[in-house]
Chain A
């Protein structure tokens, strides 16, 4: 008899079978009770995009505040500055960027590795609902004059507890994603044949699981301290300083690891050939991940903490080495991507535009990170660090928006408009550069150049506004595509990886059957098999 060689790995009886319309629960009950990784992923994405509003508004306010450095209280009152600043950074990373990355990974990674579901689907669902509640509590803590630096003790305590729960929910989702890549791969897909996006999520997840628990431990100590004595927290002034290491070098790179995987997936697809030296690319992504481990680069906990302490780690060898070495894997990847594009036949399309923009902006961010430790430039603690963080985060945003565009047929079942997407990717890339470069230059200037710094801050604000407009434009065309009734093709881009043989959007169980996997690009293999035969 003839059998398909590559049966799905999981024993889920729903594999390959269409959903029973009689048993399908619709509406809110379907959302709340769903353990389908695609539904959970979509919920994560929508919530993350909504969270972008608070992050974007606070960012523009902070940018406007810096235009006139001579006076305080321009737009933001002095006593609320820390709250607005922390809302921008905490919200940007934990309420927007991570949930968006997790949502995209929950939806796409099982499809890429040929699994019928995500590992621990109920845990994945629980992680989303926990995230939703805790994210609401984090936002609420700011509303009631809490958050780090807040004047309302209950609000500060609420912030600390909600952040612990929020990060725990992210870690729970991360365990689901990493376990999926490690255990639910289709037969034939050894670890070195995993698509780069899934690989980057495996690396990012592993690094998050090693780093973010340290932040949880710190938040527990801060909560107990704030509630009972306020020694380490210095009243409410020391809380943000204790968690700010997550937003600095090298930990900030944690959130950019999936960028590398996304770019690594789209460049071969739109070049029409395999990724040049796939295993080297995997090693480079792994190396970048290892160099993003940075829980050690934080402020020491000191007794009688009354003011923001210095940064004792900046003169240490590891901090300098991590900053410089992070450039190496990125340069390797850039060389591989350039080689892949030069050997292939490049088709310009929105995902590629996003991917190239993300690659350029990330390179700028990592390059800034490499020069910050240079002692003679005196960039530590200046706006150069802000420039680096902004570059890395906007690179991640570009990649995630590109991912949503690339996989919109799997996410929404429809395609996103090409021309506006290309424009938005370009605006975001240019906005990121205009946002970042003036901050880097301002960081190198001294206090005698206040006028020049103010002018640079104005230019940087223009860049920030461009990024905000780009994000707004993206949200608009995303909503338009969601409302579109024209179904997308199964494989609109001639992709190389398994998600492109599933329906758009994928049905329950994802795959009717999985083709034989003999390389990291099984669908590319199939096309060439057909061409040669």
Chain B
């Protein structure tokens, strides 16, 4: 057995209870760490993309081979869709904080709808790019499909996260005093959008 003395105790004057410890924001911190790690995945991939692109251009070639296209309109639409979804997600967090459940549900549903729209838009984009994995543009295709495909996976993961928190909100587990779940989903969603902004600029704008 331990040879330690008993833990020190404190006499509380007037019978008042000891102050409650600050509630740990476990999910928020965990989500922040996971979001940071996710961001680093894309930081590395985009770095490789830009490095390879610059080496090709330095060799006197154009980055995109003849026939390959990266049309700007669907990429812009994808970005604006996600930016709208960022606003609706923050609306959900705000509504949840005010215990305004109808608006919170509406905002979460709208966010999910916009997120799915983005996935559909990117799927359509793939049919427009004319980048083939086993042809002349394979190097570019490998990088672009890897980065954008993994980002789509991140969008889907974020949508699953938001859906879970929406179901928890519907089940009454999240309240105005405890909106950590929705706030965490919002954080991951915003990081997902930030990553797309980097991808959008690095791949679709810079070309």
A228 in contact with B142 given A213-B40, A303-B56 (CB within 8 Å): yes
Chain B residues with CB below 8 A from A10, complex form: 24
Residues of chain A with a CB closer than 8 A to B55's CB: 300, 302-303
Interchain CB contact (< 8 A) of A221 among B11, B30, B34, B143: B143
CB distance from A280 to the nearest CB of B (A): 26
Q: Chain A residues near B139: list those with CB within 8 A.
A: 229, 231-232, 303
- B interface residues, tally (CB under 8 Å): 49
Q: In the complex where A3-B9, A183-B29, A220-B146 touch, is A295 in contact with B134 (Cβ < 8 A)? A: no
Given contacts A209-B37, A221-B48, A221-B142, contact A183 B26 (CB under 8 A): yes
Interface residues on A, range: 35 or more
Q: Find chain B residues with CB under 8 A from A210 CB.
A: 36-37, 40
Stretch at the interface among A65-73, A423-431, A476-484, A523-531: A523-531
CB <8 Å contact, B52 and A302? yes
Asked if A229 and B142 make an inter-chain contact with CB atoms under 8 angstroms apart, the answer reads yes
Contact B142 A213, beta carbon cutoff 8 Å: no
Rounded to whole Å, the gap between the CB of A298 and the closest CB of chain B is: 9
Question: Does B172 sit at the interface, judged by CB under 8 A?
Answer: no
Contact with A along B142-157 (1 / 0, CB 8 A): 1101100110000000
Interface assignment of A154: CB less than 8 Å from any CB of chain B = no
**Binding stretch for chain A, among B12-20, B68-76, B121-129:** B12-20
A229 touches B4 (CB 8 A): no
Instruction: Mark interface residues in A501-532 (1 if CB within 8 Å of B CB, else 0).
Output: 10000000000011110000001001101100
- C-beta contact mask, A201-232 vs B, less than 8 Å → 1, else 0? 00000000111111111101100110011011
Q: State whether A1 and B15 are in contact (beta carbons under 8 Å apart), knowing that A501-B2, A529-B8 are contacts in the complex.
A: yes
- Give the residue of B9, B24, B34, B41 whose beta carbon is less than 8 angstroms from that of A5: B9
Contact with A along B26-60 (1 / 0, CB 8 A): 10011001101111111111001001100110010
- Using CB atoms, name the residue of chain A closest to B56: A303
Give A243 Cβ to nearest chain B Cβ, in Å.
12
Interface centre among B25, B37, B139 (most CB of A within 10 A): B37
Task: Pick from B8, B9, B138: contact of A526, CB below 8 A.
Answer: B8
Shortest Cβ distance from residue B19 to the other chain A in the assembled complex, whole angstroms: 9
Task: Provide the residues of chain A in CB contact with B15, threshold 8 Å.
Answer: 1
Give Cα A519 to B195, complex, Å. Answer: 41
